[in-house]
Amino acid sequence: MKAPLTLLALSLALPGLAAAQESRWSAGIGVIDSPSPYIGMDRQTNVIPVLGYEGENFYLRGPAAGYYLARDQKWSVSIGLQLAPSRLDTDESDDARIKRLDDRDFSALGGLRARYGADWGALEAIVATDVSGKHHGQYAEVAYKYPISLLGKTLRLTPGLGINHYSADYADYYFGVSAAESVRSGFAQYQPGSTQNSFVELGALWQINANWQLVGNLRQIWLGSELKDSPIVEDDTTSSAYAGVVYRF
């Protein structure tokens, strides 16, 4: 799994890049560094382009795009698409058994996203289902975040915590072992049920000037019991880090 959950964390972090009321584009480059919970997988570091847009009705935030159904100063509800945060390229593993498994591809999720912000922080939620036909599973996430402004509001730190949910089909596609794979690889056949993962994170945004920003995100994830019990997993926790520079037009 390259950059597990990091892509989703990035899509949740990017709204801060376009907080102004006027429509604005942003573009930049970032680095994602993350390990994989799968056996025999090295830590992955990837350079990625960053593209964002925040308009009155439409937004683009890295791997996520959507349309606002309703919004005001405190809350918003949108419908959209996003790239699922999971993938396994078996050729990248050093383990001969993993190499005999089928690849697990990125999938596209479609659904609803909601946010409510107040003086005590912000609540964010996602409910989505597979629309790419990869696994027909569902993904959900609920998070609480508390933005802290420093240095005259040029620096913003946003600690947060949350839980995400994998349906049984989602978990089985990325962490299960089919009967055919068991015969080829030697792993025991395994079919996980639905599960919940917990995480903590810290986001950062430094407003260098009117156009340039430095952004970052750290996230630590604790895998749910159904994923930890998978025979193809060697770590029950994983972490991810993202750092980038963005120019707002």
Q: Name the 3-class secondary structure at 14.
A: helix
For position 152, what pLDDT does the model report?
86
For position 119, what pLDDT does the model report?
94
Is 48 within the bounds of a domain? yes
Is 214 within the bounds of a domain? yes
Is 1 within the bounds of a domain? no
Could you please report the per-residue DSSP string of 143-186?
A: EEE--EEETTTTEEEEEEEEEEEE-HHHHHHHH-B-HHHHHHH-
What is the model's pTM? 0.86
Is 82 within the bounds of a domain? yes
The 10 Å Cβ neighbour count of residue 168 is: 17
- CATH number of domain containing 107: 2.40.160
From the CA atom positions of the chain, what is the Rg in Å?
18
Total of domains in the chain: 1
Is 148 within the bounds of a domain? yes
Is 124 within the bounds of a domain? yes
CA distance 152 to 228: 44
Eight-class DSSP state of 187: P
Is 194 within the bounds of a domain? yes
pLDDT in tens, the chain (249 residues): 444 444 554 554 554 444 444 668 999 999 988 888 899 988 778 888 889 999 999 999 888 999 999 999 999 999 999 987 678 899 989 999 999 999 999 899 999 999 999 999 999 999 999 999 999 999 999 999 999 999 988 999 999 999 999 999 999 999 999 999 999 999 999 999 999 999 999 999 999 999 999 999 999 999 999 999 999 999 899 888 999 999 999
- Which structural domain range is residue 132 located in? 6-248
For position 85, what pLDDT does the model report?
66
Residues 6+ apart with CB under 8 A from 202: 157, 158, 159, 160, 217, 218
